[in-house]
Amino acid sequence: MAELVKIDPKSIGVGQYQHDVNQSALKKALALTVESCVNYVGVELNTASCELLFFVSGIGKTAANNIVDFRKSKGAFKSRKELLKVCKLGAKAFEQCAGFLRIRDSLYPLDNSAIHPEAYSVVEKMADDAHLSLQEIIGDEKLIAMIEIEKYVTDDFGIPTLEDILKELKKPSRDPR
């Protein structure tokens, strides 16, 4: 996928009748499919190319280039919060893209998961209530199974969202493919 995003869609042979299809509609459909796949799987922030970052929700071409330039000049990202220091990537763009970006060797364990930074406080509360650290709870299916998610329902986090959070905690940074 990381290499395919660098190729113009009309250069990819998608069948005998590819040229009979409206080319702008084909390009748009392929772009939407790639964006969907990229966001579903997630992207390693410290190794992703500009072309791949461009397909992450909330990141445009300029922001993608600025992320790569920032990474080249300042070194690898240590946390998702560092994205807020990237030129042309504001709070709204951060909100849209942060959950799709992973940082393998982050200072904060949840940065290498699909859990959005907005939900970090909920996970921290779950760990505190269990008298455990985040490192102890992440990946421990028995401990996670004992969490009563009803206690954590708020206006911002309903049962489906909390179930997704627990699913990610059980198998953090697991490739969903």
pLDDT tens column, 131-165: 999 989 998 889 999 999 999 999 999 999 999 99
Q: pLDDT (tens digit, 9 = 90+) per residue, 78-106?
A: 999 999 999 989 999 999 999 999 998 89
Least confident of 12-21, 126-135, 139-148: 12-21
pTM > 0.75: yes or no: yes
117-170 has which CATH code?
1.10.150.310
Q: DSSP 3-state assignment of 43?
A: strand
Strand partners, 101: 43
CB 80 within 8 A of CB 93: no
CATH class of 4-107: mainly alpha
Q: Is pLDDT larger for residue 105 or for residue 174?
A: 105
DSSP labels for 80-133?
GGGGGGSTT--HHHHHHHGGGEE-TT-SSGGGGSS--GGGHHHHHHHHHHTT--
Q: Where in the chain is the domain with CATH 1.10.150.310?
A: 4-107, 117-170
CB 161 within 8 A of CB 167: no
Q: What is the pLDDT of residue 175?
A: 61
